[in-house]
A and B are shown apart, each in its own frame.
Chain A
């Protein structure tokens, strides 16, 4: 069964450093998403991406964040200068439709900023 994959599973970085979180969505999916979940809190939407551009982004997704689909398979989230409060689990998801189909989530990348 196809699945969304994410690498690395755990990333530790120093405050102020740039990190790139990688995701490989399911191959025939066209809609891609990033979410984050701060430990013990609810999942928060960050950004949606379709047709090589951002469709929607939340208030959390400020200028420190960017997304890219550098090739036909990867979908990346870059944080330019990490802050302590960026420590969270980051989930990538993909879907076949921007409408009401369920999104398939990846296993997440735990980002720890020291």
Chain B
């Protein structure tokens, strides 16, 4: 089974609108961490936001927030007030101690912000 599933290969959003990028994960470990990374066309990986499995509140970082629904094993990224510079690939990732602290990435979602 896939550890991280991103079901949206591509998404479009109008500038200044909010967009949700979906991510579901699979783990039996009670302790894990969830991450979102942005990869612009230039190729570098940019850390956006982190959510720990025991965190009570959803993580927020500026315009990014993580909609963490533990029972559903989902960790959707919400980008508010989209900007043209948000156009990029977005990867959801998970880290679990049971896996030897390996990092599992999803296949990514390509986000295009339309002016």
Contact = CB atoms under 8 A, between A and B. Distances in A.
Interface of A: 33, 35, 41-45, 48, 55-56, 58, 89, 91, 93, 98-108, 110
A105 B43 CA distance: 11
B114 interface: no
Chain B interface helix/strand/loop/mixed: strand
Contact of B45 (A41, A48, A56, A91): A91
A85 B108 CA distance: 21
A50 to B, nearest CB: 9
Contacts of B103: 33, 35, 43, 45, 103
B104 A45 contact: yes
B91 A42 contact: yes
Contact of B102 (A41, A48, A91, A104): A48
B66 to A, nearest CB: 13
A48 B104 CA distance: 13
A33 to B, nearest CB: 7
